[in-house]
């Protein structure tokens, strides 16, 4: 078996189309995760014990079970209850849920890393609870959460191939479709592997550069 | 039958769970070995070892484990490298997770203050002795929580092996649904089983992190997450 450049070239358009879906799924999934994560973090900072416990368990459960199984669960069970969604939307929800739980932990540690003294001081100075969040906690927490969030986004990018299991034609799905028709696996699979490796390497380099340029260093 | 599942349903799920745990344990052993070899190589004085380790890490972290499994399962046999799915799963997951684990080893070793190493070298200990007697006793406990964390990721990754025809818990559940229906119930039981399998590790992570924190030592920063 040898790598056939002509065949590789002919499957490239299909794979690039898949790459577009991969990109869309990553961006939308991350948007969902960022919002959900905020919900997870705020609920776990709530004074209500029952809410803290419930959300804490939900977050642990999401982080303790495989994304693939969560995707199948959403894909096969939502329609039974009348919720019929396009596979890509189901995939985005699945990615958003799983990564939202992780993002919530990132926010939480970002918030907890700010000394209680600062918050007490701000309260003593007469800032409202709302303004303490807005002007004291969040600006500092933000600088500390960007690097781990970047890593999770790269992680999510690499998780998108699971969406092929629920019929989304992202990069791996598109390549497998091609390969199973032509029975030629070498070229499509190597192209997909190469694109993933190059893109995530470039993204992690970029993230390292952003991290170095951050005004407030985590510490 | 309780819960309305067929009489042999639990046996099917249990045998799937056994495969899942088998892959996870075997891959964890390989990952642990890889993590120490690659992590220590990255700290070596020899440039070739350092470069080799970095290339290894970037290679395995580059694409997701699922893509790597597919390449190992569909492409390598074209070159005569043909192993049963169980072996492919253990090797790919072990080498993949080992790349992430190496960063835990490196970070934990580096978290030991350089002054201690310098002092013990100045006192006449060899490099090997310094590593064994000074660095290891402090670095090893610091690795515990991140390793447990990585083990959870590994356990979750094993579900991907169902897509290369390995009959693990995930595939057993899908086959059961296809045969008998009870979709919601079977998937809920499946998720519950995965969670129960991961629970000891999740709790271990929490306890170890708390213990490190109460000793006034922060756990080494978690390395880039392993995409599941």
| Chain A partners within 8 Å of B63 (Cβ) | 158, 192-193, 196-197, 200
Rg, C-alpha atoms of chain B = 21
**Looking at the domain assignment, is residue B222 inside a domain?**
no
Helices B9-42, B47-62: axis angle to 10 degrees equals 150
Asked if the Cβ–Cβ distance from A67 to B202 is below 8 Å, we say no
Q: What is the ipTM of this complex?
A: 0.88
Residue B210 is predicted with a pLDDT of 77
Both tokens of B26, joined, read 């075997």
| Exposure string for B83-99, b = 16+ CB within 10 A, e = fewer | eebbebbbbbbbbbbbb
Whether B78 and A186 lie within 8 Å, measured CB to CB: yes
Tokens of residue B114, six digits: 């350089």
Give tens-digit pLDDT for B17-71: 999 999 999 999 999 999 999 999 999 889 999 999 999 999 999 888 999 999 9
Q: Which residue of B has its CA nearest to A189?
A: B71
- Coil/strand/helix, residue B58: helix
Q: Considering its fold, how many domains does chain B have in total?
A: 1
Tell whether A217 lies on the interface with B, counting CB pairs under 8 A.
no
pLDDT in tens, B152-181: 999 999 999 999 999 999 999 999 999 988
Q: Does A156 touch chain B (CB under 8 A)?
A: yes
Show the CA angle centred on residue B39, arms to residues B85 and A196, nearest 5°.
Answer: 50
- Higher pLDDT among residues B228 and B9, named by residue: B9
Structure tokens at A37: 């994560």
For residue A115, give the nearest of A144, A93, A91 by alpha carbon: A144
Interchain CB contact of B67 with A (< 8 Å): yes
pTM attached to this predicted model: 0.89
The owner of tokens 């309305």 is B4
Give the whole-angstrom CA distance, residue B87 versus residue B90.
5
Residues 109-138 of A with CB under 8 A from B: none
The answer as to whether B140 is a domain residue is yes
Residue B221 lies inside a defined structural domain of this protein: no
Confidence of residue B3 (pLDDT cuts 50, 70, 90): low
Number of residues assigned to chain A = 219
Residue B138 counted as domain residue: yes
Percent above pLDDT 70 for chain B: 91
Q: Is residue B228 part of a domain?
A: no
pLDDT computed for residue B224 by the predictor? 42
Point out the residues of chain A with pLDDT beneath 70: 214-219
* A159·B59 Cβ contact <8 A: no
Q: Is B225 within the bounds of a domain?
A: no
**Domain span at residue B75?**
2-214
Residue B200 pLDDT: 93
Residue B77 lies in a domain: yes
DSSP for B202-227 reads HHHHHHHHHHHHHTT-PPPPPPSPPP
> Which one-letter DSSP state was computed for residue A46?
S
Q: Mean pLDDT in chain B?
A: 89
Render pLDDT for B120-131 as a digit per residue (tens, 0 to 9).
Answer: 989 999 988 998
pLDDT number for residue A94: 97
pLDDT tens per residue, range A74-95: 999 999 999 999 999 999 999 9
pLDDT computed for residue A216 by the predictor: 52
CA-based nearest residue in chain A for residue B78: A1
CA atoms within 13 A on the CB side of B55: 6
Q: CA–CA separation, A159 vs A167, rounded Å?
A: 15
Best residue in A25, A61, A65, A159 to probe B by mutation, most B CBs within 10 Å?
Answer: A65
Q: Are B159 and A77 a contacting pair at CB < 8 A?
A: no
Please tell me the predicted confidence (pLDDT) of residue B69: 95
The CATH number of the domain holding residue B29 is 1.10.3720.10
- Measured in angstroms, the CA of B34 and the nearest CA of chain A are apart by 20
> Is B163 contained in some domain?
yes
Record: contact A64-B194, CB cut-off 8 A? yes
A71-80, A188-197, B4-13, B207-216: which has the minimum mean pLDDT? B207-216
**Greater pLDDT, B206 or A11:** A11
């Amino acid at each position: 078996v040898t790598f056939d450049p002509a065949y590789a070239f002919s499957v490239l358009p299909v794979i690039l189309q898949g790459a577009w879906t991969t990109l869309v799924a990553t961006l939308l999934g991350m948007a969902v995760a960022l919002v959900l994560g905020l919900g997870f973090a705020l609920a776990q900072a709530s004074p209500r014990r029952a809410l803290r416990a419930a959300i804490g368990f939900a977050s642990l459960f999401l982080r303790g079970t495989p994304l693939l199984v969560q995707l199948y669960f959403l894909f096969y069970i939502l329609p039974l209850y009348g919720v019929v969604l396009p596979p890509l939307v189901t995939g985005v929800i699945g990615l958003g849920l799983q990564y939202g739980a992780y993002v919530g932990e990132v926010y939480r540690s970002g918030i907890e890393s700010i000394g209680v003294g600062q918050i007490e001081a701000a309260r003593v100075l007469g800032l409202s609870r709302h303004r303490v969040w807005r002007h004291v906690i969040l600006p500092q927490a933000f600088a500390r959460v960007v690097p781990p969030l970047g890593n999770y986004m790269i992680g999510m990018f690499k998780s998108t191939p699971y969406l092929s299991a629920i019929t989304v034609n992202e990069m791996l799905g598109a390549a497998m479709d091609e390969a199973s028709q032509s029975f030629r696996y070498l070229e499509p699979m190597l192209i997909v592997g190469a694109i993933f490796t190059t893109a995530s390497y470039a993204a992690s380099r970029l993230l390292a550069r952003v991290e170095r340029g951050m005004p407030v260093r985590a510490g | 039958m309780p819960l309305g599942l067929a009489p042999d349903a639990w046996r099917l799920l249990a045998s799937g769970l056994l495969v899942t745990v088998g892959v996870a344990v075997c891959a964890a052993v390989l990952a642990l070995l890889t993590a120490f070899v690659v992590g220590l190589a990255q700290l070596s004085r020899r440039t070739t070892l350092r470069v080799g380790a970095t290339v290894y890490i970037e290679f395995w972290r580059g694409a997701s484990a699922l893509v790597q499994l597919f390449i190992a399962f569909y492409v390598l046999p074209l070159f005569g490298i043909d192993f049963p799915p169980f072996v492919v799963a253990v090797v790919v997951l072990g080498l993949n997770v080992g790349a992430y684990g190496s960063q835990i080893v490196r970070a934990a070793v580096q978290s030991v203050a350089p002054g201690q190493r310098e002092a013990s070298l100045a006192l006449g200990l060899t490099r090997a002795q310094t590593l064994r007697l000074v660095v290891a006793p402090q670095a090893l406990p610091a690795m515990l929580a991140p390793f447990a964390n990585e083990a959870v990721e590994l356990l979750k990754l094993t579900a991907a092996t169902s897509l290369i025809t390995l009959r693990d818990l995930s595939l057993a559940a899908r086959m059961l649904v296809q045969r008998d229906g009870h979709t919601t119930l079977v998937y809920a039981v499946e998720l519950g089983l995965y969670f129960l399998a991961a629970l000891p590790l999740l709790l271990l992570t929490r306890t170890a992190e708390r213990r490190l924190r109460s000793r006034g030592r922060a756990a080494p920063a978690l390395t880039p997450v392993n995409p599941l």
